[in-house]
Amino acid sequence: MNVAKEQGLISRGIPRRGGCWADFGSGTGIFTLALSNLIGPEGRIYSVDKDRAALSAQKRMFGRFPQHATLEFLGADFTKPLPLPPLDGALMANSLHFIETKDPVLGLVMSYLKRGGRLIIVEYNTNSGNPWVPYPMDSPSCKRLAEGLGFADCRTLATIPSRFLGEMYSFLCTRSLG
């Protein structure tokens, strides 16, 4: 499976191999695999999705890749509190556009992060949705939201063209050290 595009979107937000991460709304795991490739076998990923069939598909896929990060599969709604350890990082790839009111969810995700922990968001670069992507958020809106919640170092990492809604971007912000 080629995940070069996904790795390209998130790689600049991952400073080193290892660490404890979560992928919120992981689906069938294409970005989970990209994250696993980048943090390597030294790392741990909590793959969170309420779709248990998607998590089963991930388990089968990762069964073919034993050299990757240790994975914990959590069938749960990431908009609700979860039993997670303090995280070095969190990934939300194509999951926030299903949430209309994003502030409480991002605040919850921030609460899981260690001081200096990183949040990487991958989203469509528009504020106009459709039935499949109901609540996208362009990069400037993402920056305003993240900074308003107290995240630091908020910036766009990369953009790529998309057949759907024109462009996708990846965005990085960190939980402040203070």
- Provide the CATH number for the domain around residue 52: 3.40.50.150
Phi/psi of residue 57, nearest 5 degrees: -65, -40
CA distance 119 to 43: 16
Q: What is the pLDDT, as a whole number, of residue 165?
A: 87
Q: What is the pLDDT, as a whole number, of residue 1?
A: 54
pLDDT digits (tens, 9 = 90+) for 79-102: 999 999 999 999 999 999 999 999
Residue 141 has pLDDT above 80, yes or no: yes
CA distance 51 to 130: 21
Number of alpha helices (DSSP H) and beta strands (DSSP E) in the chain: 5, 7
CA angle, 43 then 44 then 48, to 5°: 145
**Sign for the pseudo-dihedral over CA of 69, 74, 78, 83:** negative
Phi/psi of residue 54, nearest 5 degrees: -65, -40
pLDDT > 90: percent of the chain: 87
**Sign for the pseudo-dihedral over CA of 120, 70, 75, 62:** positive
β-pairing verdict for 70-75 and 43-49:
parallel
CA distance 150 to 161: 30
Domain that holds residue 145: 4-175
For the chain, what is the domain count?
1
pTM of the predicted protein model:
0.95
